Amino acid sequence: MTSTALSTVILAAGKGTRMKSRLPKVLHEIAGRPMLGHVLANTRFEGSARTVLVVGPDMDQVADYAHSQRDDLAVVVQKSQLGTGDAARTALPELRDGEGVVLVVFGDTPLVRAGTLADMVETCRMSGSIVILGFEAADPTGYGRILLDNGKVRRIVEHKDANEEERRTRLCFGGPMAVPAAHFGKLLEGLSNENAQGEYYLTDVVSLGRDAGIDCVCVTCPEADIQGVNSRADLAAAEASLQQRMRREAMAEGVTFLDPDTVYLSFDTKFGRDVTVGQNVVFGPGCDIEDAVTIKAFSHLEGAKIAEGAEIGPFARIRPGSEIGRKARIGNFVETKKAKVEEGAKINHLSYIGDARVGPRANIGAGTITCNYDGYSKFFTDIGAGAFVGSNSSLVAPVKIGDGAYLGSGSVVTKDVSADALAVARGRQIEKAGWAAAFRAKNESIKKTSSGD
């Protein structure tokens, strides 16, 4: 085969009834991304001619999500649930006849690696064989078995159709299949539903191909890479597998996890080198962590950029839009949102900084709040370089604190403060000598009178 064209068919028409959810199965998330999103990302190959997503009736939510991720994608509807072979046939009108390779994958197997699929496509392209993905199952119950004849794939038999001897086979079919495009349509048209489930099995393409003189090659992968998701328990297992994979990859690139099993990453978490992450840290989508950052225990980050040498936590919440500068310090029980904290600035404890800029080397005292929302709109607070904000201060936006300014503790600041100025905005303290003693005496007298003493 010489054509480099590639068409990908993603089968996502299953109802996912075992999930017990209003959300379509393939839109349930793993590592902060829908399962279908993982599949779409792992099938984005250079030179791809066409990607076709097969959905069931009334699955507009799935189609809309797919279109939001890929603009080169066509969606077709499998009107009746007649099996995986019928689903693949639904995609035929959208494919280019006879060009290159057709790769078929499933929308509910999100952990198959892009490199594995690329190897399957290349093997099909070079050999002209059908290529299937197999794995050695610890418990093969329920899986289709791959039957070999002198080392070559003879056929795939579904579990319900297998006899006792065939069920003892532990080499199982994982789902993905690469087929020469020149044969794909003809093989699908030859499928029969004479089986235990009365469905058209995609797996029968292998035996039909063999009868037509087309060899089948089995490429294998670890079982953890091919696990499908049909229930909430499966979803949790897939999440655990992907988290372990991402943790290992991060550590291999120079990240230290003090307790790896308690750290949760998102599909797009980026780390520099010499990053140290404490226990029970969660990274939501959109986090970019540069070199030599320390993130202490029980912190939660999402949509944030953390620059080199910064220190976060413990118990910090870094919300979307936060940019934490070089060697900045975000301490315990600090929350930031859409805040730019510049180089060397410190927000050490018990503060909320939202819709704000904190200038270089500024110091924000404990209990400081930027009051950014008036019930209708958000407003911006600008804190200049080297400014000192005393503890328990409230900055009512929009407001600007000049470079080097000093705010007295307990202030409620509603007006701009000039550079290098002192601002104190709190009630004047007064003292009345003996007032407390007189107050107590008065109340004790009333208490005795009312009790009859």
Which residues does the annotation mark as catalytic? 349
d(CA 73, CA 91): 12
Amino acid at 322: S
Burial of 53 (C-beta count, 10 Å sphere; 0-12/13-18/19+) = buried
| Bridge partner residues of 349 (DSSP) | 332
CA-based nearest residue to 177, from 91, 237, 236, 62: 91
| Bridge partner residues of 396 (DSSP) | 371
Kind and range of the H or E run holding 388: strand 388-389
CA-based nearest residue to 30, from 17, 44, 42, 46: 42
d(CA 453, CA 450): 8
Pairing of strands 101-106, 171-180: antiparallel
Residue 350 DSSP one-character state? S
Kind and range of the H or E run holding 87: helix 84-90
CA-based nearest residue to 3, from 111, 143, 99: 99
d(CA 16, CA 62): 13
| Bridge partner residues of 133 (DSSP) | 219
